[in-house]
Amino acid sequence: MSKERIGVYICHCGTNIASMVDVENVAVWAKENLADDGVVVARDYKFMCSSLGQELIQDDIKEKGLTRVVVAACSPHLHEQTFRAACAKAGLNPFLCEMVSVREQVSWVHTDKAMATQKAKAMITGGVERVALHEPLEPLHVPINEATLVVGAGIAGIQAAIEIADSGFPVYLVEREPSIGGHMAQFDKTFPTLDCSACILTPKMVTAGSHPNIHLLSYSEVERVDGYVGNFTVTIRKKARYVNEDVCTGCGICIEKCPMKVIDDVFEAGLGYRKAVYRPFPQAVPKYPVIDTENCIYFQRGKCQACQIFCPTQPNSIDFEQEDELLQVDVGNIILATGYDLFDARRIPQYGYGRLANVFTSLEFERMCNASGPTNGAVRLRDGVTEPEAVAVIHCVGSRDKNYNNYCSVICCMQSLKFAHLVKERAGPNTEVYNFYIDMRTAFKDYDEFYQKVLAEGVHFVRGRVAEVTDAARLPGEEGKLIIQAEDTLIGKQRRVPVDMVILSAGLEPRHDSVEVGHQFGISCSVNGFFTEKHPKLDPVATMTEGIFIAGCAQGPKDIPASVVQGAAASARVLGRIQQKELALEPVRASVIEEKCSGCRICNTMCPFNAILFHEDQMVTEINPALCQGCGSCVAACPSGAITGTQFSDQQVLAQLEGLLMLSVNGGRVLEPEMA
């Protein structure tokens, strides 16, 4: 006979549950059959989550003196908080409430009502056995440092940083490259409005660079993250620029005088040149140049020093002795907006990128169209002078392709339409443009209108994946051309289209180091390698690690408006936290029973949240309760039973299993497992 007084509540969920489970029968059965296990009241109700449903529970707690509550309804993901709160309102510790998922795990997945009802009874029995072993828990309260770290200063990171800074809280904005701006700074026009990318981005860059609440750390990388939500300590490596930012005026004379020209692989995508001391682009923020030591004559051969000789500042801004600096900052929350890498088109050899001169990547074409780019905005073949007469744009390069990435990169259709338009605009309306696409995805505001507009401009659309781009002419008229071999699925025929120039609309990929970065911050990546959000629909910018948020393409491919929205959303989440000043963490945590830990270290690598600490001197492991997210990996891993998870102790889980198994399929209760 249980010493607890347990109330069992079965929800109809309209007809969601009631149509497949005989809920009235379950309630009557539970009251009769589970009385020995402590059940003193069992009810069914149309919508347990409604105020009236919750009041039923609250009244019973008060009037019948319930000490435990079991709610058989939907998944705890949806309404656990609701019912916990209802219990708390009636004075019962919220963690003495257990949910049994008879919707997701029973009614939605079965077709035989009698059997489903039986299963619901078994699961409720398990819940009753388990809840008796629940312990009252108190949430952990942690104070929140009001500073925020934003990693990555592309458009998403910049937006997030400005929003937080405008609200009056300090932000550390860390950017790996010498200038902030990210990929958006490389684009010429943005779809579908065709406004100048730089014109709309640079004001935001300037704001981020000069905002009194934003501490900009460009040319810097996060080395290490310690601590937990509210109290992170982040170590940042500020790489040596060899330019003293305190005195440099950004006049650019050093760049002008530098005799060493190198191909700019990063900003100009290999299409243009820069100096060994350089600023990635004219509007760079911060304005200070950086010396590329691998190509600097002084660093390589000990001679030259032209930049230092011509630097007009007093004292001289060029500092060849400068070293990397390690900074430590304390922050309460972190937003990761680390962006994407472009799919490397060389991985699809049949498209000829890197082998056929006039095959360009989307980023190269962006730079080509840019007024400050290598051709000053003119569309030219690789020789830099010839204007193409026919251009092919290939969609889905590296995307929607099981050989490379299965997912849709989202932006390529619109980007390809933009390219088609730009070719017509820059090389003249008589230039033939062929877009090879699989499906046309132009789903957002004003996007399809843009598609209609490009259609009206006379661009040809061929529906089919391109098999090959070749310079091997077979037919008359193909000599000296690049030939696109593709199936036109709308007419059901193979086509060969000779063109002068091919633009590969390469897809977006996770950053090459996203797994390592994720590990550093204690968050995981999805199968595709993008950071995993807490909930794909309802919590897209939070992660499973408290205090770590994600925004922009680091979370998945998206366009500029969506990145801006996510940056702002992440900042709103962070601001909400900061305003609370204190955070209540769910107390479902793992802890080590020190006396039982033998120091075998099996659990040491298990924690995805870096909450496990090993004390070498005492040979025992400790778990930081604020970092722990209660996932249970270490609890399962510990072979000594020295790690327990609150709310998930072996005893609780075994009691639940016993409850489940006590009910045989035929309906009778089996008290002792049969021994052969």
Closest by CA to 414, choosing from 346, 362, 352, 466, is: 362
525 touches another protein (CB under 8 A)? yes
- Residue 618 binds another protein (CB under 8 A): no
196: contact with another protein by CB under 8 A: no
Q: Which CB sits closer to another protein, 265 or 594?
A: 594
| Three-state secondary structure readout of 21-44 | CCHHHHHHHHHHHCHHHCEEEEEE
Asked if 54 contacts 28 with a C-beta cutoff of 8 angstroms, the reply is no
595 binds another protein (CB under 8 A): yes
**What phi, psi does 88 have (nearest 5°)?**
-60, -40
Query: 13 or 643, CB closer to another protein?
Result: 643
Choosing from 252, 381, 640, 660, the residue that interacts with another protein (CB under 8 A) is 640
- Chain centroid to Cα 640, Å, comes to 36
Check residue 650 for interaction with another protein (CB under 8 A): yes
Residues 477-516 that bind another protein (CB under 8 A): 515
Task: Output 114 or 600, the one with its CB closest to another protein.
Answer: 600
Contact characters 528-567, another protein, x per CB under 8 A:
xx--------------------------------------
Question: Counting contacts by CB under 8 A, is residue 520 touching another protein?
Answer: no
Cβ atoms of residues 513 and 525 within 8 Å? no
Residue 648 identity: F
Contact between 664 and another protein (CB under 8 A)? no
Stretch that binds another protein, among 32-40, 373-381, 415-423, 523-531 (CB under 8 A): 523-531
Cis check for the bond before 315: say yes or no (omega within 30 of 0). Answer: yes
Counts of helices then strands in the chain (DSSP H, E): 16, 34
Taking the least distance from each CB to another protein, the nearer of 582 and 594 is 594
Nearest residue (CB) to another protein, 322 versus 528? 528
Q: List C-alpha distances in Å: 54 to 60, 141, 238, 635.
A: 10, 27, 54, 33
Which neighbouring-strand residues pair with 243?
318
d(CA 211, CA 159): 12
598 binds another protein (CB under 8 A): yes
Shortest distance, position 527 Cβ to another protein, whole Å: 6
- C-beta closer to another protein: residue 504 or 603: 603
The answer to whether 160 and 554 are in contact (CB under 8 A) is no
| Among 99, 137, 106, CA closest to 8 | 99
With beta carbons less than 8 A apart as the criterion, state whether 653 and 660 touch.
no
Q: Which is nearer to another protein, 365 or 521 (CB)?
A: 521
Instruction: Work out whether 604 is an interface residue with another protein (CB under 8 A).
Output: yes
Integer-rounded Cα Rg, in Å, for the chain is: 31
The answer to whether residue 642 forms part of the interface with another protein (CB under 8 A) is yes
Q: At what angle do helices 23-33 and 113-131 cross, to 10 degrees?
A: 40
Euclidean distance between CA atoms 42 and 27, whole angstroms: 5
Residue 615 CB, shortest distance to another protein, in Å, is 13
Within residues 384-413, the interface with another protein by CB under 8 A covers: none
Half-sphere exposure of 521 (CA within 13 A, CB side): 30
347 lies in the binding site for another protein (CB under 8 A): no
- The least CB distance from residue 504 to another protein, in Å, is 23
Q: Tokens standing for 129?
A: 């056995």
- Minimum CB separation of residue 528 from another protein in Å reads 7
Which range in 13-21, 283-291, 520-528, 574-582 contacts another protein by CB under 8 A?
A: 520-528
User: What residue ranges bind another protein (CB under 8 A)?
Assistant: 515, 518, 524-525, 527-529, 595-606, 614, 619, 633, 636-642, 650, 654, 675-676
